[in-house]
Structure 1
Amino acid sequence: MAHAESGATPGAATAASGAQRTPATTPDGAKAPGEGSFWLSEWAFPLFVATLAAGIFTGTHLYYVYRTGTFSDVAVTALLKGGMENGSYGAAAAFGAGFLFARVIEGPMVGILDIGGSLQTGVGIGIPAMLLAGGVTAPLEHFWLALPTGAAVGFAIGCVILLIRRATVNSSQNTSTFGADVMMGAGNSAGRYLGPLVIIAAATASIPVGLGSTLGALLFYWWKKPLTGGAILGAMLFGLFFPLTGK
């Protein structure tokens, strides 16, 4: 999936937006379906994020143990794979944590939590890489630890997003957009410089995947689009026809 754009979901946007100042209504003035229910309540958002993060972190546990199961795309997973082989997790930790930080800051402002950048890359690659770099391997070695660890991380992310939103755009005394009108896509703009890193990571995973990543980046460059998206999509497409075999 595309790293930054395709991960965003309307459901997450609704939950992350917090309490509405006026009840949502349909065009005919009736109350919107589900308004005031659990599914649209503010406090349910951290639970949704915790559930997603638990599954994604556990998927990384499966990859760490069995070399399959990660929810991140091939090129980003290659960063973690490189660390598992040579013991250097700096690239994976910096890449994943950077996207997580950008999305946690962006999410409260625009009302959308990008699952691809914040959870699949941040929780699925960045946080595991930081744990492994610090010598903490238990959550990634044991299934029964991976689930609650991912859930705790996701719950914390959801709470932080709600707290930031309450203190900024949803503040009762707020008269500013706090940059929400320009924050949308900020992570994508910063991520365009990471295209070469994605291509290199894909090439280290396998030659066909690296070739697909390069072709995708060239195609996106021709379309005047960010290289990172093309590199990731190209790696995913070629990875479909030339899958990586587990060791």
Structure 2
Amino acid sequence: MINKSFWYADWSFPIICGLLSAGIFAGTHTFYVYGIGAFNEIAFVAMLKSGMTTGDYGAVAAFSASFLFARVIEGSLVGILDIGGALQTGIGLGVPALLLAGGYTLPVENFFAALATGLILGALIGLIIILIRKFTVNSGGSTFGADVMMGAGNASGRFLGPMIILSAMVASIPIGTGSLLGALLFYIWKKPITGGAILGAMIFGGIFPIL
């Protein structure tokens, strides 16, 4: 009963996100210092390595930060957090790249600072997802069968598009309509519909906010 109360409680999700992010950020620290240990896809790590060589972290920062933003919105709507995009890419590459580009090297160079930075950022992300979900999808009294959980990955995340559309429709009719139109446009452009569904829901959610 104690375990169930922890795993199913809202307050436990930010803690789990924080612990995961602490390990991921520490992995980036070991890669930055020793050249090994990053928890990410090889192609993405190569972008960080290029920034370490040239001093230009713009590409990896923009790419990874956009992943983080999209996956946080996706997690809020669907109830499934894509660890690969949000934490491994966003926290593990995007945030370190932004810090290094700004000249703040301590959180990446020092192991304990890396752990603390990852823990705090991960907990904040988990808290943001819980709050967004509580005041949007869950405000209607339905989770559409999905409480917030960890899962998916950069590859499998593309199949969450239909769930995003359905969850957006549960939130409100305008947001659902925007999500559907966004997914349709991305399908016509032969792009993954997940991105279109998220952008459409965000745009229509801004125009027609949930009261």
Select the structure of larger CA radius of gyration: 1
Alignment of 1:206-217 (within 5 A): none
Match of 2:42 in 1: 74
Deviation per CA, 1:55-77: give whole Å up to 9, x if none.
00000000000000000111000
Matching residue within 173, 176, 179 for 2:172: 176
Deviation string 1:133-157 (CA, Å, 9 cap, x unpaired) is: 0000001111110101000000000
**Does structure 1 retain, via aligned residues, the 8 Å contact 2:136–2:171?**
no
Distance 2:12 2:85 in 1: 21
Contact 2:22 2:116 in 1 (8 A): yes
Alpha carbons of structure 1 residues 169 and 128: separation in structure 2 relative to 1, 3 Å = same
Report how far residue 171 of structure 1 moved.
1.1
- Given the superposition, is the C-alpha separation of residues 45 and 142 from structure 1 closer, same or farther in structure 2, using an over 3 Å criterion? same
TM-score (norm 1): 0.59
Q: Is it true that 1:93 corresponds to 2:93 in the alignment?
A: no
Residue of structure 1 in register with 2:112 after alignment: 144
Structure 1: gaps (5+ residues): 1-32, 192-247
Is contact 2:108-2:114 (8 Å) kept?
yes
Q: CA deviation at 1:86?
A: 0.3
Kindly tell me: are residues 87 and 115 of structure 1, through their superposed partners in 2, closer, same or farther at Cα, counting changes over 3 Å? same
Q: Which amino acid aligns with 1:162?
A: I
> 2:160 corresponds to which residue?
none
Q: Which residue of 1 aligns with 2:157?
A: none
Partner of 2:71: 103
Whole-angstrom CA distance in 2 between matches of 1:50 and 1:179: 31
Counterpart among 53, 56, 71 of residue 24 in structure 2: 56
CA distance in 1: counterparts of 2:194 and 2:10, whole angstroms: 30
Structure-2 change in CA distance of 1:175 and 1:189 (3 Å): closer
1:170 alignment partner, SS class:
helix
Q: Give the percent of matched residue pairs that are identical in Structure 1 and Structure 2.
A: 54
Count residues in correspondence: 158
1:125 aligns with 2:89: no
Deviations 1:32-64 (A, max 9, x none): x88951111111000000000000000000000
| Cα distance in structure 1, aligned partners of 2:105 and 2:71 | 26
